[in-house]
């Protein structure tokens, strides 16, 4: 059975532009429940570890630099089939290719500065949630 929780990050481009409230409202209207949230600025070590899966890709250093460039907002969201539902709600990595009405179509600038991250599997949702939050920091049940 798919998990009902996933991890998202409102990235520094969107957070710095004051779009966090609109993005959260968009997600809540889409049926997601916010069960954990924080505001923080990632260190280079944290961003490098979080995106370690992309190490060696040509965009890796740019990605780490961007993710450390300002505050971001990691959150755990809850909804039935959360991982797939959130990926659908945020749209394609490149906002130019994202469907109308998705978060990236509405709020992202480019493939690199693309407003929001979402876990791509239940396994990564669990790993990424634990990266930012202790179990006691998320609403239970
Ligand atoms: P995200 O969903 O956070 O996961 C990896 C990120 O790498 C992705 O969103 C993009 O913001 C970023 N990225 C930058 N350039 C590229 C690229 N050429 N291909 C894929 N991802 C990229």
Q: What is the chain's mean pLDDT, rounded?
A: 97
pLDDT digits (tens, 9 = 90+) for 93-123: 999 999 999 999 999 999 999 999 999 999 9
pLDDT of res. 29: 98
pLDDT tens digit sequence for 43-94? 999 999 999 999 999 999 999 999 999 999 999 999 999 999 999 999 999 9
Mutate which of 9, 55, 63 for ligand 1 pocket (most atoms within 8 A of beta carbon): 63
Nearest by Cα to 111 from 8, 41, 11: 11
> From the CB of residue 49, how many other CB atoms can be counted at a distance below 10 Å?
13
- Reply yes or no on whether 117 is catalytic: yes
Q: Where are the domains of the chain?
A: 5-40+72-137
Q: Could you tell me if the CB of 119 is within 6 A of ligand 1?
A: no
Residue 114 in contact with ligand 1 by CB distance below 6 A? yes
Tell me the pLDDT tens digit for each residue of 11-22. Answer: 999 999 999 999
- Among residues 24, 42, 44, the alpha carbon closest in space to that of 115 is found at 24
pLDDT of residue 12: 98
Please give the share of the chain, as a percent, with pLDDT higher than 90.
97
Q: How far is the CA of 54 from the centre of ligand 1 (A)?
A: 9
Give the CATH fold of the 5-40+72-137 domain. Alpha-Beta Plaits (3.30.70)
- Measure the CA–CA gap between 113 and 109, rounded to whole angstroms: 6
CA nearest 19: which of 129, 132, 118, 109? 109
Question: 141 alpha carbon to ligand 1 midpoint, in Å?
Answer: 32
């Amino acid at each position: 059975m798919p998990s009902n929780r996933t991890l998202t990050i409102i990235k520094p481009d969107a957070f710095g532009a004051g779009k966090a409230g609109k993005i959260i409202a968009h997600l809540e209207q889409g049926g997601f429940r916010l069960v954990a949230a924080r505001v923080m600025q990632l260190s280079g070590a944290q961003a490098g570890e979080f995106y370690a899966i992309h190490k060696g890709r040509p965009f890796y250093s740019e990605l780490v630099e961007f993710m450390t460039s300002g505050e971001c907002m990691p959150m755990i969201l809850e909804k039935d089939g959360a991982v797939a539902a959130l990926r659908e709600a945020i749209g394609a990595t490149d906002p130019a290719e994202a469907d109308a009405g998705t978060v990236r179509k509405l709020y992202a600038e480019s493939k690199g500065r693309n407003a929001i991250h979402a876990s791509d599997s239940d396994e990564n949702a669990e790993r990424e949630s634990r990266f930012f939050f202790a179990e006691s920091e998320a609403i239970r049940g």
